[in-house]
Structure 1
Amino acid sequence: MVLEESVVHDVRLSSVGPGRATGSDVFHNPSGLDLAMKLHYLRVVYFFDSEAAEGLTIMKIKDAMFTWFNPYFITCGRFRRSDSGRPFIKCNDCGARFIEAKCSKTLDECLATKNSSLYKSLVSHQVIGPELSFSPPVLLQVTTFKCGGISLGLSWAHVLGDPLAATEFINSWGQVMNNLGPKMLSNIPRSVPKPIQSGPEKDPISAKRIDPVGDHWIPPNNKKMDTFSFHLTTSQLNYLQAQIWGPSLDQTPPFESLCAMIWRCVAQFRAGPEPKTVTVCRLDPSKKDNDIIGNNQVISKVEVGSECCIIDMDLSVLASMLRDEGVDERKQIEEAIERDEGVSDFFLYGANLTFVDLEETNLYDLELKGHSPTFVYYTIQGVGDEGAILVYPSSHGSIKNGVDAKFVTMILPEDEMEKIKSELKLNGFLLEDN
């Protein structure tokens, strides 16, 4: 990171909060499903060219944030623990952390590097703890490039909400920047959840219970993890679909086909048992248009029989299983958390090999002066040893023009990554310059 740290310089810190006081003794209580995600963090970087950023000053950005944070006041609070140990947010208007920085590269140079470690330097990787009362759940970084373009880095504690909630949060700032009112939320602050009548005391497959982490909210890793990202063009995706399905009209969407291929690659190169159970996370369609905040994404387990060998399975079978045979475990996860009154520690991403579908989260709806981002980079911090694969549109044109290009971020054990990259390159899904 020495190179990237020198490229990003002149870092300044401040805080921004709601323009109006929230009031005293206002508390927000995360649900059991929220608390199951508290060791994970979404890191998103939005890149805008110089035309979109022209005339955009730090003062204008902050002025809009004062209005923006009025309905999103819980994101400006700080975590505390009740007498029982259950975390909650004290809505005390301490603010989100605001980071200003400069980059010695142009926007085009930065994007041309295809260097995820450089992208990571454009967003904060601070986690919550070890002192809860001083840890902001949201951090925003504005980085100015040499050419006049900018990036906006969002660090979002997953305990606040899922990827859709995070995307709607930042898109609401864009609405304020464009002189539109901020989105009003209907479900905050929330009171302590009512006790639920839980089923058998069995932990879900999709979430892994770990030893208590205390007030430092990050899961431990037994393996050194690596992150790698790459584009997949429309022609590459068409080739993949043709390889799996041939002339058949009964094809799964590209997400399932792509994940099936990566699943088999991981099974091929993973030391020890094959990953016969995977987790699939995707948007809950029933929550898409609701003005709510929280963790509502569908979390499904997909299991193959113990007698099956994933390396020998047809990709069409794996893809069909990912599409059709997922079992939603949200209720079981909620019950596991509430059985222990919200004090247990679980993690989800990387408990099993995890596939995250981000294609419907409106990543490119954030606009500045009518301009969408040139590119959006997405990753997750706090992924466990089994790894996670994120799939999302590679550009605004992917959505606008019906072009199905994708961007993939893989977070996997370091000793597997180079082998998987070589296999993807061998099969034509990774270009030489990647």
Structure 2
Amino acid sequence: MGEELLLVKVESILSVVSSKPIEPGKVHKLSLLDQAMGLHTVHLVFYYASNPFNEGPMSSDIDNLRVSLSHLLNQYPNATGRLTRDPDGGWQVKCNDAGVRILQASVTATLDEWLRSADAVLERDLTVWEDMPQDPSFWSPFRIQINNFKCGGLAIGLSCSHMNADITSLTLLIKSWTEAHRGQPLTHTPTFQLHLPTTYVSSSSSLTPSPLFIASNHVKMGTVTMKFSDSSIRKYLSQVKNECPKATPFDVLVALFWSRIAKWVDPSPKHHYLSLCVDMRTNPGIPYGYFGNALHFSLLSMDADMLLSDTGHHQVSDCIHKHVSSLKEEDFGAFIRELESKEQPCRMYGPRLTCINAEHLVCAENGGGLMYAARFNEEKPVLVSYNVGNVEGEGLIMVMPSSEAGFGRTVTVTLPEEQIVNLCKDKTVLGLEPIMLVSGNRR
């Protein structure tokens, strides 16, 4: 199907406010980490085979979603407010009942046609974004777009400034919405304050002294999404079990992509660096329901000879696993202190090749992704897509759980365009028989 037929048309825009008024004068100061993420945006798309809001011939999408969302927003005052500067010049949310912006759109394709033919650029149309204006007092930092496909399928797109929330926060927001829609209590009640001791000292020997924050050169980027089956990842894990018996799907997939991408760097350096983004909600001191940013970025270095070796991916997987498993809450505190020396937001994704670890979103009950438990009725999403805006430099790899129980994973890769072309035809990657969900080389 030609791209000219894959069109998204926004038909209406409105705001949904919480069903209970927010107390006057309530503000929420964004954390240092929140503000450091200011150059980026976050975009999620939940695809459903049928419209979960159409519960009868006389009901409409907007009427059904507004009721449950309005009740949910009582517990998310940060989502309904507006960004303002505090007296010291830092960012804060003025919780003022301004509401979440809701857009309703139609798509000139069926869901199957879209998933088969759309690329990452087109997919962004499902989460129409408007950059923050100079005066954001009337600008909605959260946007939900309801996209109706010709077949009756539906996609819910959610976007926000990364200052307001990370991917875990937004995943739980949608999942909580589905629970509110079904009249169920929230599994993860949101909390908004992150309390960290100020005496933290980094104790992780895996952190390298090389700078995490470097300048990046702007090049045209492309994106591709690949779905790897449970069986293919299990087979791949069995190949590294001697060197790394506790390897996770994240470890082996990052080792695979990192080693392949390193081959295309010219000239190849003696050492390669990888920025690892790990969610710290796995630590007891940080609640899973924390709404904001709870991400830790750290560097891992690798000798080029090992990384580029045909058999080196076993050792690379082991190094990645040891690095991630060694991170502690005190390392998070040290990372926050490092941010204090920055006078402006950093480009957190992309100066170095960056990998997002989302193993914490694997659902313990069924082994699938927690995002696939976002069910407005009995139907789970057929696909949940994640994207980070304003990625530059060496690129970004997102390893996400899939809808399949077990070790299946969905990997979204953003790289310079010529590297995306190489990746899409790389025999080692294709040897795992991934399904291409969104092809970045279609323009």
Structure 2 length normalisation: TM-score?
Answer: 0.82
Residue 388 (structure 1) shift: 0.6
Partner of 2:106: 102
Partner of 1:419: 422
Partner of 1:216: none
Change in 2 beyond 3 A, CA 1:337/1:129: farther
Residue 4 (structure 1) shift: 6.3
What SS is found at the alignment partner of 1:385?
Answer: coil
d(CA) in 2 for partners of 1:431 and 1:391?
A: 13
Match status 1:256 vs 2:254: no
d(CA) in 2 for partners of 1:108 and 1:53?
A: 20
Match status 1:391 vs 2:403: no
Aligned match of 2:340 in 328, 338, 341? 338
Partner of 2:9: 9
Aligned match of 2:154 in 150, 154, 157? 150
d(CA) in 1 for partners of 2:294 and 2:196?
A: 18
Residue 262 (structure 1) shift: 0.6
d(CA) in 2 for partners of 1:45 and 1:308?
A: 39
Trace 1:171-190 onto structure 2 (pairs within 5 A). 171-182=175-186, 185=189, 187-188=191-192
Q: Name the amino acid aligned to 1:371.
A: E
Partner of 2:78: 74
d(CA) in 1 for partners of 2:199 and 2:402?
A: 43
Residue 251 (structure 1) shift: 5.3
Partner of 1:47: 47
Aligned match of 2:292 in 294, 297, 312? 294
Q: Name the amino acid aligned to 2:226.
A: F
d(CA) in 1 for partners of 2:241 and 2:88?
A: 57
Q: Name the amino acid aligned to 1:14.
A: L
What SS is found at the alignment partner of 1:9?
Answer: strand
Change in 2 beyond 3 A, CA 1:346/1:164: same
Partner of 2:320: 322
Q: Does the 8 Å contact 1:77/1:92 carry over to 2?
A: yes
Q: Which moved more, 1:55-64 or 1:288-297?
A: 288-297
Match status 1:167 vs 2:147: no
Unaligned runs of 5+ in 1: 211-219
d(CA) in 2 for partners of 1:233 and 1:413?
A: 26
Q: Does the 8 Å contact 1:53/1:150 carry over to 2?
A: no
d(CA) in 2 for partners of 1:420 and 1:118?
A: 20
Q: Does the 8 Å contact 2:81/2:93 carry over to 1?
A: yes
d(CA) in 1 for partners of 2:109 and 2:190?
A: 42
Q: Name the amino acid aligned to 1:225.
A: M
Q: Does the 8 Å contact 2:306/2:312 carry over to 1?
A: no
What SS is found at the alignment partner of 2:130?
Answer: coil
Identity %: 23
Residue 153 (structure 1) shift: 0.5
Partner of 1:276: 272
Change in 2 beyond 3 A, CA 1:432/1:365: closer
d(CA) in 2 for partners of 1:199 and 1:5?
A: 56
Q: What's the C-alpha RMSD, in Å, of the aligned pairs?
A: 3.3
Q: Does the 8 Å contact 1:69/1:76 carry over to 2?
A: yes
Q: Name the amino acid aligned to 2:159.
A: S
Q: Name the amino acid aligned to 2:294.
A: N
Trace 1:185-196 onto structure 2 (pairs within 5 A). 185=189, 187-188=191-192
Match status 1:366 vs 2:371: no
d(CA) in 2 for partners of 1:392 and 1:14?
A: 32
Q: Which moved more, 1:281-290 or 1:28-37?
A: 281-290
Change in 2 beyond 3 A, CA 1:321/1:148: same
Match status 1:407 vs 2:410: yes
Match status 1:266 vs 2:264: no
Residue 181 (structure 1) shift: 4.2
Q: Name the amino acid aligned to 1:250.
A: P
Residue 247 (structure 1) shift: 6.8
Residue 186 (structure 1) shift: 6.2
Residue 205 (structure 1) shift: 5.7
Q: Which runs of 4+ in 1 moved over 6 A?
A: 197-200, 246-249
Residue 106 (structure 1) shift: 1.4
Aligned match of 2:308 in 268, 286, 311? 311
Q: Name the amino acid aligned to 1:103.
A: V
Partner of 2:365: none
Change in 2 beyond 3 A, CA 1:198/1:375: closer
Q: What's the CA shift string for 1:223-269, capped at 9, x where partnerless?
A: 11111111212343244335x42777825122111110110111100
Q: What's the CA shift string for 1:54-96, capped at 9, x where partnerless?
A: 4262111011111111110111111112233211111122221
d(CA) in 2 for partners of 1:206 and 1:5?
A: 46
Partner of 2:366: none
Partner of 2:224: 228
Change in 2 beyond 3 A, CA 1:181/1:234: closer
Structure 1 length normalisation: TM-score?
Answer: 0.84
What SS is found at the alignment partner of 2:283?
Answer: helix
Count of paired positions:
412
Trace 1:229-244 onto structure 2 (pairs within 5 A). 229-242=225-238, 244=239
Aligned match of 2:432 in 412, 429, 432? 429
What SS is found at the alignment partner of 1:174?
Answer: helix
Change in 2 beyond 3 A, CA 1:162/1:99: same
Partner of 2:68: 64
Partner of 2:353: 353
d(CA) in 2 for partners of 1:336 and 1:330?
A: 10
What SS is found at the alignment partner of 2:289?
Answer: coil
d(CA) in 1 for partners of 2:429 and 2:86?
A: 54
